[in-house]
Amino acid sequence: MGSLSTPLLVVVFGAGAIATWIAGTALSKTTDVIDRRFGLGEALGGVILLAIAGSLPELAITISAASSGHLGLAAGNLIGGIAVQTMVLVICDGVASRTQSLTYLVGSLVPVLEALLVIFVVSGVLMGALLPESTRIGPVSPASIGIVLAWFAGIYALNAARKKPRWECAMVGSRPGRPHRRVAHPAEKPSPMTASTARAITFFVVGCVVTLIAGVVLEVAGNQLANRAGINGVIFGATVLAVATALPEISSGIAAVRLGDNELAVADIFGGNSFQVILFLLADLIAGKPVLPGSGRQNSWLAILGIALTVIYAYGVILRHERAYARLGRDSILAVIIFGLGIVGLVVVHA
């Protein structure tokens, strides 16, 4: 794509973003149906499959960027994507209710457990960035292995908490919605792509292929645009590229809160955020060396920003301030301020 003019590259990047949005939305709908009909989410293997399906754009970008040596772009997209995708909750908050905040409506502590898992694995990212590159197991950083193990342990604990909760709490006025996607929503309209199991699987496979191709297009075109604009790969990956790959989450999040599935909207964002950082292990294997030690100060800044935004919404779910101001809860307003300051700081912090 290096021979293409800059305006044409912008068109190609935009086409890749639109394809990611459409295919990602189709994946979300078909994954729900496949999960519901086969009960995939009840087993750990099913949880992993569903997590991979939801993170295909990041997976494609990681593979493409690591194989072409654009490690800053790969790391920026994986780490910066956490902050950007958490900001999807601001949009969901604005759609959920005119007068009540999203975190007030959630009425469940499961998203808080999901948020703690995000903090846990992102802490591993920060520790991995401090390790020297010489500290490795073959081509892999010990931190990348530790992040994967931490994620598996966290998902196992989350499944156990869902199946057999050891506490009860009353959250008056909450409207959490469905506890999981295996329960069909009575207000959800059937879609032609999910009319039958065979059709759902077909659209799922096509969506996977389109998402993977679009992810490669986004990485290649995005890297060219960043170079021509003189933008740091970390900054581009954490902002423009992260927003493009978050489009499916925006679509599925809005659809969830409109159906009243407020708990799922929040839990899905945190679940996707905790999963995508385990892709550092894949990046290490493809690059042939640990990626985290060379991720730089900007990625560390982004990781801390992601943790801060996660904490804000976890607190919001627990404290449950009801009133919304201009359709946003206190936590979303604070998140917008912190995110804005974080992006300004990202420009100031040297790589």
138 sits in the region (left: phi over 0; alpha: psi -120 to 50; else beta) called: left
Q: Judging by beta carbons within 10 Å of its beta carbon (0-12, 13-18, 19+), is residue 100 exposed, middle or buried?
A: buried
CA distances from 86 to 135, 248, 255, 336 (A): 32, 13, 16, 10
pLDDT digits (tens, 9 = 90+) for 162-176: 778 787 777 888 887
**The pTM is what?**
0.89
pLDDT computed for residue 115 by the predictor: 95
pLDDT computed for residue 166 by the predictor: 80
Q: Judging by beta carbons within 10 Å of its beta carbon (0-12, 13-18, 19+), is residue 299 exposed, middle or buried?
A: buried
Structure token digits, residue 44: 């750990």
Q: Residue 307 pLDDT > 90, yes or no?
A: yes
Is residue 41 one of the residues assigned to a domain? yes
Is residue 200 one of the residues assigned to a domain? yes
For residue 100, the cross-strand partners are: 323
pLDDT digits (tens, 9 = 90+) for 170-198: 788 888 776 665 566 666 666 666 667 78
Q: Residue 351 pLDDT > 80, yes or no?
A: no
pLDDT computed for residue 340 by the predictor: 94
CA distance 207 to 255: 18
pLDDT digits (tens, 9 = 90+) for 140-159: 999 999 999 999 999 888 88
pLDDT computed for residue 240 by the predictor: 83
Q: Are 293 and 132 in contact (CB under 8 A)?
A: yes
User: How big is the chain, counted in residues?
Assistant: 351
Is residue 312 one of the residues assigned to a domain? yes
Is residue 71 one of the residues assigned to a domain? yes
Cα of first residue to Cα of last residue in the chain, in angstroms, is 27
Is residue 20 one of the residues assigned to a domain? yes
Query: How high does pLDDT run on average in the chain?
Result: 86
- Per-residue burial over 7-27, b if 16 or more Cβ lie within 10 Å, else e, is eebeebbeebbebbbbbbbbb
Q: Residue 43 pLDDT > 60, yes or no?
A: no
- Which residue segment(s) compose the domain that 22 sits in? 6-348
Is residue 1 one of the residues assigned to a domain? no
Is residue 291 one of the residues assigned to a domain? yes
Q: How many domains are contained in the chain?
A: 1
Structure token digits, residue 346: 């990202």
Is residue 232 one of the residues assigned to a domain? yes
291 sits in the region (left: phi over 0; alpha: psi -120 to 50; else beta) called: alpha
| CATH number of the domain to which 196 belongs | 1.20.1420.30
